[in-house]
């Protein structure tokens, strides 16, 4: 494989990785945000730093849409599946305009290269669990084009979309509820500080 290509191999997402839920793991502090998590939907946990990074990237461009990728894993604890967003990657090659954003093939390739180049310190595999984009001054919703991206590129039941309105100071998470895409609640997660620091 040369440096300009990406090799994916055999990807299988049928089974979530067994891992203690942040709700039950004493290493995490969690806080419910937005709509209450619903039964039948994979719960979503977003690490605080990943959310701060996405919001800061959005705020740095208040006059045009920007976007990126949510990286993490799909897990299960006691039969309950959940998505864990561990970091945010900017989509630097996206075509950005005041009221639209186009993700190119190069954006996806760069994201997969970055995931391969900087693996998770925990050793758990990571992949794209969702995507992010901003709507400066327009509110938080998914447009027809946004729904197309979710349906065609993030169409697994645990994959999500994060929309940030940096001018309005709002953000909203969207995900799958059965065969529909709708606003979703999530848990903001952070690692607890070790005692004695």
Average model confidence (pLDDT) across the chain? 87
State how far Cα 110 lies from the chain centre. 16
Residue range 8-28: mean pLDDT, rounded? 77
- The band of 42, judged by pLDDT with boundaries at 50, 70 and 90, is confident
Listed residue (152, 127, 128, 115) closest to 67, CA to CA: 128
The verdict on residue 57 lying in a domain is yes
Higher pLDDT, residue 6 or 80: 80
Listed residue (40, 43, 38, 69) closest to 188, CA to CA: 43
Inter-residue contact 44 to 195 (CB < 8 Å): no
| 67 has a pLDDT exceeding 50 | yes
Higher pLDDT, residue 2 or 71: 71
The verdict on residue 196 lying in a domain is no
Inter-residue contact 29 to 48 (CB < 8 Å): no
pLDDT value of position 37:
64
Listed residue (54, 73, 74) closest to 65, CA to CA: 54
The verdict on residue 160 lying in a domain is yes
State which residues form the domain around 90. Answer: 43-191
The verdict on residue 34 lying in a domain is no
Q: 67 vs 80, 91, 103, 180, CA distance in Å?
A: 30, 6, 8, 22
The verdict on residue 19 lying in a domain is no
Residue range 35-53: mean pLDDT, rounded? 85
Residue 160 pairs in a beta bridge with 130, 175
Residue 46 pairs in a beta bridge with 85, 188
The verdict on residue 12 lying in a domain is no
pLDDT value of position 195:
53
The verdict on residue 100 lying in a domain is yes
Residue range 90-117: mean pLDDT, rounded? 86
Domains contained in the chain, number: 1
Tell me, what DSSP letter sits at residue 53?
H
CATH of the domain at 86: 3.40.140.10
In this structure, of 36-40, 55-59, 95-99, 168-172, the range with the lowest mean pLDDT score is: 36-40
pLDDT value of position 34:
79
| 38 has a pLDDT exceeding 80 | no
């Amino acid at each position: 494989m040369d440096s300009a290509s990406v090799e994916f191999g055999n990807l299988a997402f049928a089974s979530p990785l067994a891992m203690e839920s942040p709700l039950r793991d004493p290493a995490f502090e969690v806080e419910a945000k937005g709509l209450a998590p619903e039964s039948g939907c994979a719960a979503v946990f977003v690490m605080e730093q990943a959310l701060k990074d996405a919001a800061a990237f959005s705020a740095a461009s208040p006059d045009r849409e920007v976007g990126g990728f949510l990286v993490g894993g799909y897990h299960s604890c006691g039969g309950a599946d959940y998505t864990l967003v561990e970091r945010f990657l900017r989509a630097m090659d996206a075509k950005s305009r005041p009221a639209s954003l186009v993700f190119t093939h190069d954006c996806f390739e760069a994201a997969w290269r970055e995931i391969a180049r900087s693996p998770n310190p925990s050793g758990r595999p990571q992949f794209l669990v969702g995507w992010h984009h901003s709507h400066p001054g327009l509110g938080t919703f998914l447009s027809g084009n946004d729904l197309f991206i979710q349906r065609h590129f993030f169409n697994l039941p645990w994959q999500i979309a994060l929309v940030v309105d940096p001018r309005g100071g709002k953000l909203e998470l969207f995900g799958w509820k059965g065969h529909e895409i709708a606003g979703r609640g999530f848990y903001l997660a952070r690692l607890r500080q070790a005692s004695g620091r």
